[in-house]
Amino acid sequence: MKTTAHRLSFVRAIAAISGVYDLAVGLFLLLAADRLASLFGVPPAQPPIFSDLNALFLLAVGAGYYWPYRDPGGARWYMWVMGPGLKGAGAIAFLADYFIRHSPASFLLFAASDGVLALLTLAALTLARDNSTTP
C-alpha cells in the first residue's frame, strides 16, 4: 500500500508541475504575447487572436491538471491524454517545425520541455499502473 501511495504521489507531482507549466506559459502568452515573441526571436502573431487562443488553450489544459492532482488514480485518463498524448505530440511538432520549416532554435526549448514532461508523465503512469486498473 505504501508503494502504491508513493507511485500515486509521483503522478500527483507530475500533474502539479505540468499544470503550473501550462498555466504560466498561458498567462505569459495572454498578458505579454509581444514580449514572449521577442524573447523567442519571432514577430508577434498576426492577428493577435491566434496567440490569445493559444493562451486560453494552455490555461484550460493547465486548469485541467487540478483533477489528477486531487485524484491521481481517478483522473489518470487526463494525464494520458495531456501528457504522452498532447505534450508528446507537441514535442514532435516543435521538432518537425524546426527541421522542416526552419523555425528558430529557441523553439527547441518547447520541444524539450514538452518532451520531458511527456516522458515523465508516461513514467509516472506506467509505474502507478495497477494490475486491476486500465489506463
> pLDDT band at 131, cuts 50/70/90?
very low
Smallest Cα–Cα separation from 81: which of 121, 113, 114? 121
Residue pLDDT, tens place only, 24-73: 999 999 999 999 999 999 999 999 999 999 999 999 999 999 999 999 99
> Letter for the amino acid at 62?
G
Smallest Cα–Cα separation from 79: which of 63, 66, 68? 68
Least confident of 1-10, 34-43, 99-108: 1-10
| The model scores a pTM over 0.85 | yes
Q: Are 87 and 118 spatial neighbours (Cβ–Cβ below 8 Å)?
A: yes
